[in-house]
Structure 1
Amino acid sequence: MAVELVHDFTLLHDDVIDGDALRRHRPAAWSLFGTPAAVLTGDALMVAALSALAQAPAERAGAAVQELVSTLLELVEGQSHDVAFEKAHEVSVADYLAMAVGKTGSLIGCACALGGALAGADTVRVGGLREFGRHLGVAFQCADDILGIWGHTACSGKPVGADLAARKKSLPVVAALTAPGAAAGRLRELYRASHPMEDAEVDLARRLVEDAGGRQAAEGEARRQMAAALRSLSLARPTVDGHRQLHDLACAMTRRAS
């Protein structure tokens, strides 16, 4: 419950930061109730998350709260890097992946680690669960970035192409911008321009990202992160049924872009 409250807090704030007016087919909170109400509600959810976790059994509550606090710091750092990328002229794939670990991987890693920690698992098994979640989170972010460019609003619940229109540097874009060739060069010109992108330019950017290999690179990174997640899961020594359930959940999360 604590992790879900933190997740909802980040969604409220993300929509404000990004200016996204749509969340899961419905108007974002800030667009209905105003930015101050959305920000304060997010703050309240974060406090409620810490309060809920503090009510765990006394012998485990301290470690659980520390796990969540560390995650909150990573989330803020990851989000700050994501915002900074919008103005940065050059962002490497390595920079992007480090941001994704903080923004998305840390929260899913926290969810997995807390399950083990609150159940009394040893540090090795908790570490395996944490790394499983962190790699899975990055794989999920890769799939989400692909959806943001080539998905469908009816399926994803988010405006497709909005990231390109805002010149956001998602993984397919970062990979394409740093690639050689004419398509990458033309994409760099589009991203360096200061005028608002029109629909035709968004469509052009989408084609250029794919032509420059951005989609292929993001799909490949999602597969690598998924493989790393499953290797980490083995360190947690789950039961056969537990391994199957976590494996199936991981596959479902990373198939969203297909």
Structure 2
Amino acid sequence: MNLSHPDAVPPGGAVERCRRLFEPAMREAVSALHPWGARMAAFALGWSDADGRPYNGDGGKGVRPTIAMLSAEAVGGTAESALQAAVAVELVHAFSLAHDDIIDHDERRRHREALWKAYGVGPALLTGDALLALAVGRLAARPEAMTYLSAALLELVHGQSADMAFENRPWSGPHEVTIAEYTEMAAGKTGGLLGAAAAAGVALGGAPELADRMWEAGRDLGVAFQIADDMLGIWGDPHVTGKPVHNDLRREKKTLPVLAALAGDGPAARELAAVLSSGVAGEESARQAARLVEEAGGRAAARAMADRYLASALEVLDECLPNAADLRTLCTGLVNRTR
């Protein structure tokens, strides 16, 4: 099943409509921080440059808050009814990016310096912690939503821990990373927060009985989203994505395209295994590895698997929220994106 529809989320559509509601609430939340922390948070959220001047660049897609608000609308609530959940999930997302860029040694984020590169590791960690504290405060009085945000935080940490541990495991042999382990990692690291957004949205919108189903749909969507992210990390255009290409290959991250390529037994898979076992050091060897992953079928297998997980999420969506056309379009666009 191919659900390809690149850039399916239209600018000025549902995402922008929801952004106009949640961004002022985000700014209000961040204003509670120490001025130094608020300045770094504003940079992390794309509102200002490193010197605190207003900045009109890429502040992120706003996907998670939009999912929360559209989910509330789909069950008869208003977007405003899920506003605090929208703010909370976006704050957690910003927290995770601040920490992830440090962990991954990524110096670029959204076409400019990552938070840690602009201000230092310590300040970036502190800013991430502050954003997380703000997120928890948003939903502390709403247990029907906080339950899912808490679960997402545990899933996120578990998934990130697994992702890091995978880097120390061999590419082949009895201790190699399996595709099943990868999907569980992705469901937690990426899917947990998507699931929390959808579950909290329907709960606050008036249909808490649907929250568990939407949580699981979000986790499936997260696997598809992570696979798409893996593909962009190997074949994406850094001028479009705002992040360096081939960094995952150099760091020996066990991404789905590589795992799927190594599962084959053809000459390209064997050559890829030899390249990876020697280490991907320079750009030339990274390009060679990327080419071999594609020749061994890793790219096609990743695309097919992303489509399967997306289809699973959409099946739940169609069953639970049959009138959620904007939400369906958003989910499809997430997995078939170029950035």
- Answer yes or no: same fold by TM over 0.5: yes
Alignment match of 2:191 (pick from 100, 105, 115): 105
Please tell me whether residue 68 in structure 1 is matched to residue 149 in structure 2.
yes
Q: Which whole-Å deviations, capped at 9, do the CAs of 1:122-151 have from their partners, x for residues lacking one? A: 32x222322222211211111111111111
The one-letter code sitting in structure 2 at the alignment partner of 1:33 is Y
Alignment match of 1:212 (pick from 296, 313, 335): 296
Q: Which residue of 1 aligns with 2:29?
A: none
Map residues 77-116 of structure 1 onto 2, 5 A cutoff. 77-89=158-170, 90-116=176-202
Counterpart CA distance in 2 for 1:128 and 1:235 is 10
Higher relative contact order (CA 8 A, sep 6+): 2
1:227 Cα deviation from its structure 2 partner:
0.6
Q: Which residue of 2 aligns with 1:200?
A: 284
Please tell me whether residue 141 in structure 1 is matched to residue 222 in structure 2.
no
Give the share of equivalent positions with the same residue, in percent. Answer: 48
Please tell me whether residue 169 in structure 1 is matched to residue 254 in structure 2.
yes
Identify the structure with the greater helix proportion.
1
Please tell me whether residue 120 in structure 1 is matched to residue 206 in structure 2.
yes
> Could you tell me whether the CA contact under 8 Å between 2:158 and 2:189 is conserved in 1?
yes
Instruction: For structure 1, list consecutive stretches of 5 or more residues without a partner in the other structure.
Output: 56-60
1:192 Cα deviation from its structure 2 partner:
2.1
Please tell me whether residue 13 in structure 1 is matched to residue 94 in structure 2.
no
Q: Which residue of 1 aligns with 2:77?
A: none
Q: Which whole-Å deviations, capped at 9, do the CAs of 1:21-66 have from their partners, x for residues lacking one? A: 00010100111111111111111111110001124xxxxx123222
Alignment match of 1:229 (pick from 307, 313, 317): 313
The one-letter code sitting in structure 2 at the alignment partner of 1:222 is A
> Could you tell me whether the CA contact under 8 Å between 1:172 and 1:214 is conserved in 2?
yes
The one-letter code sitting in structure 1 at the alignment partner of 2:335 is T
1:13 Cα deviation from its structure 2 partner:
0.4
Counterpart CA distance in 1 for 2:321 and 2:116 is 43
The one-letter code sitting in structure 1 at the alignment partner of 2:238 is T
The one-letter code sitting in structure 1 at the alignment partner of 2:140 is A
Q: Which whole-Å deviations, capped at 9, do the CAs of 1:177-197 have from their partners, x for residues lacking one? A: 222122112222222225x51
Q: How many residues align?
A: 248
Alignment match of 2:239 (pick from 138, 154, 161): 154
Counterpart CA distance in 1 for 2:242 and 2:202 is 32
Counterpart CA distance in 1 for 2:178 and 2:239 is 31
Counterpart CA distance in 1 for 2:189 and 2:237 is 23
Counterpart CA distance in 2 for 1:187 and 1:257 is 25
Counterpart CA distance in 2 for 1:62 and 1:135 is 24
Alignment match of 2:118 (pick from 32, 35, 41): 32
1:164 Cα deviation from its structure 2 partner:
1.3
1:257 Cα deviation from its structure 2 partner:
4.2
1:228 Cα deviation from its structure 2 partner:
0.1
Instruction: For structure 2, list consecutive stretches of 5 or more residues without a partner in the other structure.
Output: 1-86, 171-175
Q: Which residue of 1 aligns with 2:264?
A: 179
Counterpart CA distance in 2 for 1:7 and 1:153 is 21
Relative to the length of structure 1, the TM-score reads 0.92
Q: Which whole-Å deviations, capped at 9, do the CAs of 1:182-237 have from their partners, x for residues lacking one? A: 2112222222225x511110111011101111101110011101110111113423
SS of corresponding position for 1:174: helix
Relative to the length of structure 2, the TM-score reads 0.71
Q: Which residue of 1 aligns with 2:9?
A: none
